[in-house]
Chains A and B, each alone.
Chain A
Amino acid sequence: MRTLKFLLQKEFRQIFRDPSIIRMILVMPVIQLILLPLAANFEVKNIHLAIVDHDHSSYTRQMINKITASGYFQLVGVNSNYTDAMHLVEKDEADIILEIPAQFERTLVKESEAPVFMAVNAINGTKANLGAAYLQNIIRNYNQDVRLQWLQMPHLNDQPRIEITTASWYNPHMSYQLFMVPGILAVLLTMVGAFMTSLNIVKEKEIGTIEQVNVTPIKKYHFILGKLIPFWILGLIVLTLGMLVARIVYGITPYGNMVTIYVFAMVYLLAVLGLGLLVSTYANTQQQSMLIAFFLMMIFVLLGGLYTSIDSMPDWAKTITKFNPVAYFISVIRMVVIKGSTLADISRQLLTVAGFAIFLNGWAVLNYKKRM
């Protein structure tokens, strides 16, 4: 126990000795948490629409008015031919082209059916899907107006009709920030923990001080604990700062219990730090350990469900995410903050992450060899 005290004292001194490091560990996540959610906005509201109107009838005018009034679309151009509109798509200035054929109004009235064409830039699937769906909805509504005008019937009440009501729970204003802030905080916390610890032991290897420690009678797990605890505490400080930013800047207060978040984070940090330590027991230089940590982080973050839904991944990728601690943390922190999930609700995730923590730290202790 006494040995541990000295180890901790030393580690803390070293961390605090370099003010630039401590500043970065604490300030960088805060700045990023303030800025990034503002940018990570996927509320599909400003879909850029180019319209090619070959008809110029009162119907097309009404339809265009209806579209622009919806608030989802921003008209970037009314072109006279498709090529010009396509040019806007190439320059990324338009997302969707709506082409209304000549004689549209006449055809609709005379033949009771008339087509319109939509061309969607589908490189980004979400935007394409949502944009097309919105536009189709508006056109369908407009269609209803036209019918009413001609058929004079109140509500097609002689036909069976299913009324769909929708309710958006937990996030009725559909705020994307409510979704992103906890997620980004989870990633930032993970990065602080994993990167800092993965560098730490390797740094001692590179400088040579590890030899001096290895000839002392110090116990392996003391040494590892001494490396772990300071970053564990730092991680919890970063979490606290992050929660404050969420509250002050974004007005997000967890719907669920703060204790649940902290309990989970405490266990989760152990797993992440264990991973960092494990990396640093394998690497010989800081450069190596950085690369490995970066490689793992990139996979963990991009497959962590922060931006893209895990459900939509192919089965093999879903299996990989089962071993991705970051995915658990992102989903749990969102569940607690947004939906108010309780400790009981997240017990499965908590146990899994505790398992990771034991496994990774155990491996790191085993792999840290005092003797070659």
Chain B
Amino acid sequence: MTNGKVITANKLTKKFGDFIATNAISFEVSKGEIFGFLGANGAGKTTAMRMLCGLSLPTSGEATVAGYDVYTSPDKIKQSIGYMSQKFSLYEDLTVKENMRFYGGIYGLSDERIKQKTQDVLQQLHMEASQNKLVKSLPLGWKQKLAFSVAIFHEPAIVFLDEPTGGVDPVTRREFWEMIYAAAQNGTTVFVTTHYMDEAEYCNRVSIMVDGKIEALDTPINLKKQFNANSMDEVFLQLARKAVRQAD
């Protein structure tokens, strides 16, 4: 790992035809950090995240995740990360327990470890009673928390969260962030995209993307100072006004 940096990106670019989704972005994320990735819809956040996860091949630029190159070792990267996509992505026709068993299994955890871990997670989520229920029967907030737990089930070095709290009530959102903090405390690096500005305040550092470029990157406090603003909301609005690209 390069000087404790678990994610590095250098002029990372992705083009779809003439459209430049992410334009030469560069940043570094340290171990155990909660790194917020902000931007309006269509600013290029998800594209950047998908490149780092090995779901999408960059057009140019360099990037490493957990010390592995995104071009050459996507499979090694995948072993070291967890991912929770915008779209809810657990199997709705499997039960809570079966989902955990499946994902634990394909990450190569031993049966014993899976059993142990399943008990821990169920306890943490207070979902022991629902362990044999089909996922589709759960309320949305539970599903989101469950999806996060499954994403870090194999205890990855880094977890990527793509707008994890969309459509969730404030209480659940709060609980969700507590889970993120707990994970960070255990040394997991958290890379999270969001457009809730209060959530940005919870991050160690925040980058703000506008039209495919990173326009600002610092701690929330420094950013507020730099833009002479009272809240992250204001910082964001100042930057977002410059956007020419329309959200889709």
Contacts and interface: CB of A to CB of B under 8 A. Distances in A.
Q: Do any beta carbons of A and B sit within 8 angstroms of each other in the complex?
A: yes
Interface of A: 2-3, 5-7, 9-10, 13-14, 17-18, 207-209, 211-218, 370-372
Interface in B51-90: 53-57, 74-76, 78-79, 81-83, 85, 87-90
B101 A211 contact: no
Given A209-B91, A212-B85, A215-B81, A371 B54 contact: yes
B168 interface: no
Given A17-B93, A209-B89, A6 B57 contact: no
B56 A2 contact: no
A10 B53 CA distance: 24
B128 interface: no
Given A9-B105, A371-B57, 13 more contacts: A6-B101, A6-B102, A10-B94, A10-B102, A13-B94, A14-B91, A17-B134, A211-B55, A211-B83, A211-B87, A212-B89, A370-B54, A370-B74
A371 B74 contact: yes
A207 B92 contact: yes
Contacts of B94: 10, 13-14, 17
A372 B56 contact: yes
B98 A208 contact: no
Contacts of A217: 75-76, 78-79, 106-108
Contacts of A18: 93
A371 to B, nearest CB: 5
B75 to A, nearest CB: 5
A9 B94 CA distance: 11
B88 A208 contact: yes
B103 interface: yes
A5 B114 CA distance: 14
Contacts of A211: 55, 83, 85, 87, 89
Interface string B192-208: 00000000000000000
Contacts of A10: 91, 94, 98, 102
Nearest to A3: B106
A7 B89 contact: no
A216 to B, nearest CB: 5
Contacts of A212: 83, 85, 89-90, 103
A3 B101 CA distance: 11
Contact of A7 (B54, B82, B83, B106): B106
A6 B106 contact: yes
Contacts of A208: 85, 87-89
Interface of B: 50, 53-57, 74-76, 78-79, 81-83, 85, 87-94, 98, 101-108, 134, 160
Contacts of A371: 54-57, 74
Contacts of B90: 209, 212
Contact of A216 (B50, B101, B106): B106
Residue of B76, B83, B102 with highest tally of chain A CB at under 10 A: B102
A70 B19 CA distance: 79
A370 B55 contact: yes
A284 to B, nearest CB: 14
Contacts of B50: 372
Contacts of A213: 106
A218 B83 CA distance: 14
Given A215-B83, A216-B106, A9 B101 contact: yes
Contacts of B134: 17
A209 B75 CA distance: 18
A202 to B, nearest CB: 15
A5 B111 CA distance: 12
23 contacts: A6-B101, A7-B102, A9-B101, A10-B94, A10-B98, A13-B98, A14-B91, A14-B93, A17-B94, A209-B89, A209-B91, A211-B89, A214-B55, A215-B160, A216-B107, A217-B75, A217-B78, A217-B107, A370-B55, A370-B74, A371-B54, A371-B57, A372-B50
Contacts of B82: 215
Contact of A5 (B76, B87, B105): B105
A216 B78 CA distance: 5
A215 B91 contact: no
Contacts of A5: 105
Contacts of B105: 2-3, 5-6, 9
A5 B134 CA distance: 21
Nearest to A222: B106
Given A212-B83, A212-B85, A217-B78, A3 B108 contact: yes
A215 B54 contact: yes
A217 B75 CA distance: 5
A13 B81 CA distance: 26
Nearest to B56: A372
